Amino acid sequence: MKNKSNRLIYFEEYVHINGIDQYLFHAGTKYDNPVMLFLHGGPGFAESTLSYIFQEKWERIFTIVHWDQRGAGKTFTKNPDKCPTIDLMLKDLFEIVQYLKIKYNKQKIILFGHSWGTILGSIFIKKYPDEVAYYIAVGQVISMFQNERVGYEKVKELALQSNDKKSLKELEALGDYPGNNYGINFKKESEKLRKVQAKYGLAVNSNFSAIMGLIRSPIFRLSDISALMKMDKVNKEIVEFWSKFDIRSESSEYKVPIYYILGKNDWQTPYIIAEEYFKKINAPYKKLYLIPGAGHMTMVDEPNLFFDALADIRIVENVVN
């Protein structure tokens, strides 16, 4: 792994967390910068391998730590028989936060959640608010059922406007989507929808260029492809939990500052649902950033605007605290 920019902090490691060796990737430019723990999406889609695409500017103002969760990426490769549950993952996350606090001599850690990572993150900050400086959510999941319904209606509207008979037929085949599906069946049906959404730029497109982006990563290993191919099988229990998630079933009271960064063209986790929920949040401080032209991979789609939002959060936190 080459450190082309000669960063002060730039290394991979396996740390023994909650009974197994788990993978962390650290990158930053100053030891006194706040530490941000990146909670990736999926479930099971480790974004550490893609971090080189979007985060170099972030490293000026944060030390970023990527964790390949239990059942994902290099942690899964190391522990192929250790299937995750939500309780195990929350305990994993708690122990990693303790490890990072000691390693970097910090009182608290920033949590950054993307997609599935926002489910894990929003549960964690309710359970352990004293461990977290503040929470940044990108593609915040509010209700999986409503997300899918709204995303379906949006792409159907565009397909009708375009008289796209092929896409309309594919949508019709999904029936009364999302219906009563949960777990792996729910995920399989959602993947069919994603293919149609991607055609209209409403969801992440898993095309050739995306795969090449993964392979070009300085921390890529062939085993990362295998981990991606097996992620649904190992994450069955987590996918069941994910498919039924609705953040509105819990109180909207939070004890940590909350920041949402939403892509205005994100219909995979529709921004309009997160925007509506955000209005109801009661927190010590909250702020929402809406990024025009950005979709679900908000930080990749509009990297400069995304960095501006992160830089503003740093300024706000310095003022507030």
Contact yes or no for 33/61 (Cβ under 8 A): yes
Indicate if the pLDDT at residue 211 is higher than 90. Answer: no
Residue 233 pLDDT grade (very low, low, confident, very high; cuts 50, 70, 90): confident
Mean pLDDT on 32-39:
97
Supply the pLDDT for residue 207.
Answer: 58
Three-state DSSP at 16 gives strand
306 by Cβ neighbours in 10 Å (0-12 / 13-18 / 19+) ranks as buried
Supply the pLDDT for residue 179.
Answer: 85
Average pLDDT across the chain, whole number:
93
Closest CA to 41 of 106, 114, 91, 111: 114
Six-digit token string for 189:
């049906």
Residue 34 pLDDT grade (very low, low, confident, very high; cuts 50, 70, 90): very high
Residue 9 to residue 59: CA distance in whole angstroms: 9
pTM above 0.85, yes or no: yes
The structural domains of the chain, ordered by start, are 9-143+207-320 (3.40.50.1820), 147-199 (no CATH)
Residue 252 pLDDT grade (very low, low, confident, very high; cuts 50, 70, 90): very high
pLDDT tens per residue, range 46-56: 999 999 999 99
Mean pLDDT on 212-228:
88
Residue 102 to residue 131: CA distance in whole angstroms: 12
